[in-house]
Amino acid sequence: MNNAPLLQDAPIDALLVLSFGGPEGVDDVVPFLENVTRGRGIPAERLREVGKHYFHFDGISPINELNRSIIDRLKREFVRRGIELPIYWGNRNWHPMLEQTVAEMTADGVRRALVFGTSAYGGYSACRQYHEDIARGRAAVGDDAPDLEKLPQLYANEMFVAANVAAVEAAYAKLQGADFASGTRLVFTAHSIPETADAEAGPEGHLYSEQLRFVAAQVADRVGAAQWDLVWQSRSGPPHIPWLEPDICDHLETLASDGIRSVIVAPIGFVSDHLEVVWDLDTEAAAKAIELGLGFVRAGTAGSDDRFITMIADLIERRLGISDNVQELCPFLQGATGVGVNGTVCAPGCCGAQRSD
C-alpha cells in the first residue's frame, strides 16, 4: 500500500476514534479555546471574541454529537461484520480528552490500537497534528501506553468520494424546478490554512490543496458539472498573514457579478456538519447569498452517509487482513497517506512543518 510504518506482527485489540473536540455549553467555550490555542497565551477576552460563533449555539458545537453518531453506527457495523474491537473516543481539545482515553485504554489492557482520525486530508492541521496528538496522548500515560497506528487519509477513498457525490446530487435535486436552476455553479469549500502551511505540506508541497482539488474534480466529474470552483472558508489569524483564497463570501460576490444565479456549496473539506459548516456556510455565506440574490443550497457532508461507516470498517478489515474492499482512487503521494505509528510522521516531508508562531 505504501511504505509507512505499521505495527508488526501484533494483534490489534481496539479502535480509537480521534477528533478535534468541541464545547458543549457556554462555560466550556473559553477553556476549549484555551486548549485549541495552547501555549500561545491568548487572553480570555480575545478568546471570547474568537468563540462568539459558539455562543450563537449556546456554546454547543455539533462536532461531539456527530462523532457519537459515527461511533454508534460503526459499533453496529462491527457487530454486523463480526469485528470484535472495542471502540474508544478521545479528542485533541475537549472531553473526552485523548490523554484520559489513552489512560482508560491502558487500564483496560489494550496493547495495540488502530486510530481513525476524523479528518480526510493531509497537511499539518488535518493530519500531522493528529500524529502529534497520538504522541502526546501516549506520553501522558508513559511506558504502558498502547501502541497506536493511525489509519490513512480518506480523501482518495472511493467511498468518501461517492458519499460526497450523493450529497451534491441531493443538493441539485433541491434546486430542481427553482427558476434559477439554470445558471448554477458548483462551489466546493474547505477550511483555509496559511499559504505557508499549504506550501510546506507534503514532499512536493501543496499536498492539502491538491488533495482537495483532486476530490473536487472527481465529484464534479461524476455529477456532470462542467464548471466548478474550489474556494476556502473559516480563515482566522492576523490579517497580514496570507491564507488560501478566495474566501467563499468574496467568491459569491464574484459569481453574482458574473451572472451566476444560484450556487451549490459542497463542504468537501469537512467530514461532518461542524461549526464551520453550520455557522460559516449555513449562516454567514447563506446570508451573503441572499444579499446578492443568489440561490443557495448547501450540500451535506460525508459523515452522515452510510458509505462513510462502510469505508471505516473496510479500512480496518484491510488492515486486519480480513478482506480488501478498499478502493483508493488516487494515492498520488505514495507513502504519504497519513499512516504512522505512535506519532511518527507519515512520511518524509509529510504532512507539513509544525506551526511556527
Binding site for ligand HT9 (CB under 6 A): 20, 22, 33, 36-37, 50, 61-63, 119, 125-126, 191, 193, 236-237, 274-276
Taking the C-alpha atoms of residue 310 and residue 268, their distance in angstroms, rounded to an integer, is 18
Nearer to ligand HT9, 271 or 294 (CB): 271
What is the grid cell recorded at 266? 459542497
Name the nearest CA neighbour of 106 among 133, 141, 151.
141
| 251 marked ligand binding residue | no
Q: How far is the CB of 201 from ligand HT9 (least distance, A)?
A: 10
What is the grid cell recorded at 155? 480523501
Q: How far is the CB of 1 from ligand HT9 (least distance, A)?
A: 22
Burial 184-214 (b: 16+ CB within 10 A, else e): bbbbbbbbbbbeebbebbbeeebbbbbbbeb
Q: How far is the CB of 42 from ligand HT9 (least distance, A)?
A: 9
Q: How far is the CB of 309 from ligand HT9 (least distance, A)?
A: 18
User: How far separated are the first and last CA of the chain, in Å rounded?
Assistant: 35
| 191 marked ligand binding residue | yes
Are residues 113 and 12 in contact, defined by beta-carbon separation less than 8 angstroms? yes
Q: What is residue 243's DSSP assignment?
A: B
Nearer to ligand HT9, 30 or 225 (CB): 30
| 130 marked ligand binding residue | yes
| 132 marked ligand binding residue | no
Q: How far is the CB of 237 from ligand HT9 (least distance, A)?
A: 6
Nearer to ligand HT9, 184 or 211 (CB): 211
Long-range own/partner contacts, residues 136-143 (CB < 8 A, 24 or more apart): 136/98, 136/99, 136/343, 137/90, 137/98, 137/99, 137/101, 137/102, 138/102, 138/342, 138/343, 140/99, 140/102, 140/103, 141/99, 141/102, 141/103, 141/106
176: amino acid identity, one letter:
Q
Nearer to ligand HT9, 12 or 71 (CB): 71
Nearer to ligand HT9, 153 or 262 (CB): 153
CB count in 10 Å sphere of residue 11 = 8
210, HSE (Cβ side, Cα atoms, 13 Å): 18
Nearer to ligand HT9, 138 or 274 (CB): 274
Q: How far is the CB of 156 from ligand HT9 (least distance, A)?
A: 16
Binding-site residue positions for Fe(2+): 191, 276
Binding-site residue positions for Fe-coproporphyrin III: 61, 130
Binding-site residue positions: 61, 130, 191, 276
